[in-house]
Amino acid sequence: MSKFTQDFSKLLTQIDSVSTKKTFEKDENLWKPTKDKSGNAAAVIRFLPASNPDDFPFVRKYKHNFKDAETGRWYIENSLTTIGGQDLVSTINKELWNTGTKENKDLASKRKRKLSYFSNILVIKDLGNPANNGKVFKYEYGAKIFEKINNAAKPEEALGEEPISAFCPINGADFLLKMQFNEATEQYNYDASKFNSKRPLLDGDDDKIEELLKQCFDINLEISPDKFKTEAELEDKFLWVTGQKKNNSGKPVNKEKQDQFDADDEELDKLTAMSNTPAKAPVSTRKPPPMPVDMGSDDDEAFFKSLMD
């Protein structure tokens, strides 16, 4: 038996244990599917275990991502709830939801936190950018893909389905990623993505697998404290986005900060305009400009009910 064979029970435990400063800088180690002129993308990837066998092969992150209807300003910030902190937007959303009015509940839904995961992957075939083939990257994905990982590990045994340990080099399988752009909703859909038949990575050669895993990144750094702003900084940003003049202490928002927010927002609008126009990325580019896309989110009723409880 290969030393890289993973225990299914450990993966299931890890999955089940997941309860239901400037962000525009490029991360060249973060892979994103390369879109064609229609905004669609396809690739074959392989999820990899953590470099430290005691670590989870994934980390999760919550973020808020919305544009204020009145000011036209963006609020795209990592949520402190990711690391067990109090987050202003989540608190305000709870208050809005508890009013019970449709208008406030709709506003809270638009501002709700989004959930994404980070894992190491091996890109086997990137149809839009072959230069990525055979390379290890970090990959950020949403609840839809995580659900497919979970379902693959817990198949319908009565139907004879074989469990797939997605992050295991031996008992895992290639993942056929299909990202389809919906023009009506301007969102990306991953429903057609699926796992292929189970097969050992690199023919199960332990030495080759060990060399490959040395290239993995420490995904825990994605949720390190330096990835999050302080409560005070987030309050200033929220007040600026919503057009409010003063914070809870009655002090005006710092003008220097407002100027920086204006500059960031202008840059973000440009990046968003570029990203919302489907186009094939150049082969030499590892990833397209970052864009505020829905990475998957909590169910409205369940999420806000938990806040109320």
Q: What is the pLDDT of residues 112-135, one digit of tens each?
A: 999 999 999 999 999 999 999 999
CATH fold for the domain made of 8-308: Replication Fork Single-Stranded DNA Binding Protein (3.90.198)
pLDDT value for 52: 79
Q: CA-CA distance, 63 to 81, in Å (whole number)?
A: 9
State in Å, rounded, how far the first CA of the chain is from the last one: 48
Q: Across the chain, what does the average pLDDT equal? A: 80
pLDDT value for 205: 93
Structure token digits, residue 293: 């896309």
Q: What is the mean pLDDT of residues 63-75?
A: 93
- Are 77 and 233 in contact by the 8 Å Cβ rule? The answer is no
Task: Give 37's contacts (C-beta < 8 A, 6+ positions apart).
Answer: 278, 279, 280
* pLDDT at residue 179 tops 80: yes
Percent of the chain with pLDDT over 70: 70
pLDDT value for 50: 86
pLDDT value for 280: 40
pTM summary value: 0.73
pLDDT value for 295: 42
- Are 48 and 120 in contact by the 8 Å Cβ rule? The answer is yes
Give the pLDDT band (50/70/90) at residue 300. very low
Distance, C-alpha 168 to centroid of its chain: 21
Of the candidate ranges 52-61, 66-75, 100-109, 242-251, the one whose mean pLDDT is the lowest: 242-251
Give the pLDDT band (50/70/90) at residue 186. confident
Phi, psi angles (nearest 5°) of residue 79:
-85, 135
pLDDT value for 158: 59
Q: What is the pLDDT of residues 198-221, one digit of tens each?
A: 999 999 999 999 999 999 999 999
DSSP 19: -
Q: What is the mean pLDDT of residues 239-251?
A: 73
Q: CA-CA distance, 120 to 56, in Å (whole number)?
A: 11
H or E element at residue 275: helix 255-275
Q: CA-CA distance, 55 to 57, in Å (whole number)?
A: 6
62: β partners:
115
* pLDDT at residue 288 tops 50: no
Percent of the chain with pLDDT over 90: 59
Q: What is the mean pLDDT of residues 213-230?
A: 94
Which stretch, 1-10, 57-66, 266-275, 300-309, has highest mean pLDDT?
57-66
Q: What is the pLDDT of residues 142-151, one digit of tens each?
A: 999 999 999 9
Structure token digits, residue 12: 């299931």
pLDDT value for 249: 55
pLDDT value for 45: 97
- CA torsion, ordered 200, 201, 202, 204, to nearest 10 deg: -40
pLDDT value for 258: 56
pLDDT value for 247: 57
* pLDDT at residue 273 tops 90: no
H or E element at residue 240: helix 231-242
What's the count of helices (H) and strands (E) in the chain, helices before strands?
8, 9
pLDDT value for 18: 54
